[in-house]
């Protein structure tokens, strides 16, 4: 077997593979002999079928199969040995006069080669690194929420502007009949509030669904319907009032602090607000980090210029899927995936040049941290090391989980690298301002 490469240009090459009869004949003969031993053909005893008949029935199929195996194994080996950085997979070139009866067989494969380029992490124009701070307004709102959540319900006979109303929403046409509890301070419609205030248990109020709540998702919950239906809904529903309660705020005392944060971890309202600020800003870090990662990625794609073997990639996309695509479909698919492919190449070069690797021991520790944070959400704040170790071992035995965690850890390594080497400008903002600037 002889394999040679013809360079077309910097991004395209053709690999030629010449296979002689000596390369495949022994394997083909061995397989056909095995077929002869097992063949059941009428008129012949098992194992006594003439080899000529076996070759006539199975020879071409076995030959094709063995040659394809040879091609695949040796072509992959050649690409590895020659250190050819290819995009997609080699594409066989169409040969109109190809004849499988020839002793010597010649094949050609098109290659799309990865471009050569340099990556500069430190860009001329600075990327904004948001530092989200919990302002006084947010902290006070959180304190109010805590007091409401842990406060006690006091039954009332008449609805006030800050009360909770439990009742059944009904609309026969839309087949709605759902009991739920509504807080009046979450209602947006002034007409609805005016209609409810002053009403008593046993009375019925008619409400319009459009613009009823401050948050759209609350309508689907109140009516017991899916969110897609709720978004389009513009009807009147009747609310049969069954219960009215005022939520009396909880006292900010040591009993509440211990319930929220464990015994004696918080001892005053001032410490409560400091803890809320600390915890909130820690949660905000994840969002600002993701924004930073996205923005640096966009800047790298924008500033790192290189060509791709576009024609080859369109051809490869056209034939590599489950169903072949038309020329226009392949072009559309390439246009959609080009940006992602560019960043894959940029990211790969950054990882290689900065020797970023995911080791199994650090992946295990990373998984422990992830498990610990998950357990904390369910109130298990201090798991034992042995417990974490056992769960981590189970997680690491799942290849899909290992892949997912490896990608997350590599993203963290890239983020740390960008924080160290990229041109960043830190900007302090409140959460509301962050949402406006980052997602407007």
Structure tokens at 242: 């069954």
Angle ∠(419,425,426) on CA atoms, nearest 5: 80
Is 9's pLDDT higher than 80? yes
Fold topology of 2-113:
Alpha-Beta Plaits (3.30.70)
Q: How many CB atoms lie within 10 A of CB 49?
A: 19
Q: What is the CA radius of gyration of the chain?
A: 34
Least confident of 40-44, 150-154, 192-196, 368-372: 40-44
Mean pLDDT, to the nearest integer, of 109-133?
Answer: 95
260 vs 381 pLDDT, higher one: 260
Q: Most confidently modeled of 40-44, 212-216, 234-238?
A: 234-238
**pLDDT tens profile 62-91:** 999 999 999 999 999 999 999 999 999 999
Q: Where are the alpha helices (DSSP H) in 150-215?
A: 190-196
pLDDT computed for residue 81 by the predictor: 94
pLDDT computed for residue 315 by the predictor: 94
pLDDT computed for residue 300 by the predictor: 95
Contacts for 24-32 with beta carbons within 8 Å, 24 or more apart? 24/63, 24/66, 24/67, 24/70, 27/66, 28/59, 28/62, 28/63, 28/66, 31/62, 31/66, 32/58, 32/59, 32/62
How remote is the C-alpha of 106 from its chain's centroid?
A: 44
Mean pLDDT, to the nearest integer, of 129-138?
Answer: 94
Residue 316: band (very low, low, confident or very high) from pLDDT cuts 50, 70, 90: very high
CATH annotation of 152-248: 3.10.50.30
Ordered DSSP codes for 245-308: EEEEPPP-SHHHHHHHH-TTT--SHHHHHHHHHHHHHHHHHHHHHHHHHHHHHHHHHHH-----
pLDDT computed for residue 305 by the predictor: 95
Q: Are 97 and 135 in contact (CB under 8 A)?
A: no
Mean pLDDT, to the nearest integer, of 203-208?
Answer: 95
Q: Which of 111, 113, 106, 108 is CA-nearest to residue 94?
A: 108
Q: Strand 164-171 and strand 236-248: pairing? A: antiparallel
pTM of the model: 0.73
Mean pLDDT, to the nearest integer, of 379-399?
Answer: 85
Q: Which of 178, 166, 235, 181 is CA-nearest to residue 206?
A: 235
Q: Tell me the C-alpha distance between 32 and 125, whole Å.
A: 68
**pLDDT tens profile 280-292:** 999 899 999 999 9
Is 379's pLDDT higher than 70? no
Q: Which helix (H) or strand (E) holds 347?
A: helix 327-353
Is 381's pLDDT higher than 70? no
Q: Tell me the C-alpha distance between 27 and 406, whole Å.
A: 41
Mean pLDDT rounded to a whole number for the chain: 92
**pLDDT tens profile 156-179:** 999 999 899 999 999 999 999 999
pLDDT computed for residue 370 by the predictor: 84
Mean pLDDT, to the nearest integer, of 30-48?
Answer: 84
Ordered by start, the domain boundaries in the chain are 2-113, 152-248, 266-439
Mean pLDDT, to the nearest integer, of 329-350?
Answer: 95
Fold topology of 266-439:
Trigger factor, domain 2 (1.10.3120)
Q: Tell me the C-alpha distance between 150 and 250, whole Å.
A: 6
Residue 383: band (very low, low, confident or very high) from pLDDT cuts 50, 70, 90: confident
Mean pLDDT, to the nearest integer, of 142-149?
Answer: 91
Residue 262: band (very low, low, confident or very high) from pLDDT cuts 50, 70, 90: confident
Per cent of the chain over pLDDT 70 is 99
Q: Give Cα separations from 252 to 141, 148, 379 (angstroms).
A: 14, 11, 21
Is 407's pLDDT higher than 70? yes
């Amino acid at each position: 077997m002889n394999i040679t490469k013809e360079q077309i240009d910097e991004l395209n090459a053709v690999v030629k593979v010449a296979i002689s009869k000596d390369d495949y004949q022994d394997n083909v003969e061995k397989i056909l002999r095995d077929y002869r031993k097992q063949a059941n053909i009428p008129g012949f005893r098992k194992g006594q079928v003439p080899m000529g008949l076996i070759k006539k029935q199975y020879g071409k199929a076995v030959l094709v199969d063995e040659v394809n195996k040879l091609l695949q194994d040796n072509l992959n080996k050649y690409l590895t040995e020659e250190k050819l950085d290819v995009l997609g997979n080699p594409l066989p070139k169409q040969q109109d006069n190809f004849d499988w009866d020839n002793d010597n067989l010649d094949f050609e494969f098109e290659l799309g080669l990865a471009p050569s380029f340099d990556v500069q992490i430190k860009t001329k124009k600075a990327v904004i690194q948001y530092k989200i701070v919990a302002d006084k307004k947010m902290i006070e709102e959180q304190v109010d929420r805590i007091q409401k959540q842990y406060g006690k319900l006091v039954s009332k006979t008449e609805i006030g502007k800050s009360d909770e109303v439990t009742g059944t929403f009904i609309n026969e046409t839309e087949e709605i009949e759902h009991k739920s509890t509504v807080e009046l301070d979450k209602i947006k419609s002034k007409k609805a509030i005016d209609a409810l205030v002053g009403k008593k248990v046993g009375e019925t109020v008619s409400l319009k669904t459009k613009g009823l709540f401050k948050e759209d998702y609350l309508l689907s919950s109140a009516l017991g319907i899916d969110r897609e239906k709720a978004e389009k809904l513009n009807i009147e529903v009747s609310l049969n009032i069954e219960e009215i309660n005022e939520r009396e705020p909880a006292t900010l005392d040591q009993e509440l602090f211990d319930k929220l944060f464990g015994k004696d971890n918080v001892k005053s309202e001032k410490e409560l607000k400091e803890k809320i600020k600390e915890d909130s800003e820690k949660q905000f870090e994840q969002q600002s980090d993701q924004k930073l990662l996205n923005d640096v990625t966009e800047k790298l794609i924008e500033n790192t210029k290189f060509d791709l073997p576009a024609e080859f990639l369109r051809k490869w996309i056209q034939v590599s899927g489950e169903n072949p695509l038309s020329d226009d479909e392949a072009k559309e698919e390439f246009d959609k995936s080009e940006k992602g492919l560019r960043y894959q190449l940029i990211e790969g070069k950054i990882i290689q040049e900065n020797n970023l690797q995911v080791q199994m021991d650090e992946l295990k520790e990373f998984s422990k941290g992830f498990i610990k944070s998950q357990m904390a959400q369910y109130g298990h704040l201090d798991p034992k090391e042995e417990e974490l170790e056992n769960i981590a071992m189970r997680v690491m035995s799942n290849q899909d989980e290992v892949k997912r965690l490896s990608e997350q850890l590599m993203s963290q390594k890239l983020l740390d690298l960008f924080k160290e080497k990229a041109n960043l400008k830190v900007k302090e903002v409140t959460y509301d301002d962050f949402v406006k600037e980052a997602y407007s």
